[in-house]
Amino acid sequence: MHRRRLLQGAALTATAALVPASVRSVAGTRAAVADHPMALWAPAHAANYTVPAHPSERRVDRIVIHVAQQMFTPTIGIFRNPAKRVSAHYVVRSGDGHVAQCVRERDVAWHAGNWDVNTRSIGIEHEGWVDRPEYFTDVMYRRSALLTADICARHGIPRDRAHIIGHHEVPGSDHTDPGVLWDWERYLRLVNLS
């Protein structure tokens, strides 16, 4: 077990070294804090999420897919701004599939616009715009699907459309993301292959 941890740590260190300096300055290098092994920690401001009174009692039963309507770095900046009152657990970059974690999974990110859904879901933002399919790259789909599969495995979430939903499917939502150009069939196939 000790050897495996050393190898995992070495792999994370090597991965962090491959991340451009501009990203490291945004995401940090405290990878050990992240819940997903390939995510770099980029913490949201504490005013933008809720720490449950009893984190061990938090039960997650779905994942909400978002498209940020923004670039990667400014999205993280929004989550770091205490005046914005919004966050997501993860942000996935379009060009290389880099994953940043902004809120621990045990905490409640303010991403869905519905408190009940927030309290029982993990939110994943994706760099880009709903009407610009060039942001929905192969590497983004693959890395996001790997992240989603990992979350499903750790939380016992079925890998289907009833449990992996779009922001537009949240009750009471006025959002359209991830939009009609998001390839749900492809995404779920990748999630189930991961």
| Residues 77-135 pLDDT 10s | 999 999 999 999 999 999 999 999 999 999 999 999 999 999 999 999 999 999 999 99
Distance CA 155, CA 143 (A): 18
pLDDT of 21 reads: 40
Structure tokens at 49: 């999420």
CA-wise closest residue to 19 among 67, 73, 68, 74: 73
Q: Which residues contact 123 (CB under 8 A, 6 or more apart)?
A: 63, 64, 66, 87, 88, 89, 90, 109, 111, 112
Q: How confident is the model at residue 10 (pLDDT cuts 50, 70, 90)?
A: very low
CA–CA separation, 24 vs 159, rounded Å? 31
For the entire predicted model, the pTM comes to 0.84
What pLDDT is attached to residue 55?
82
| First-last CA distance in the chain | 23
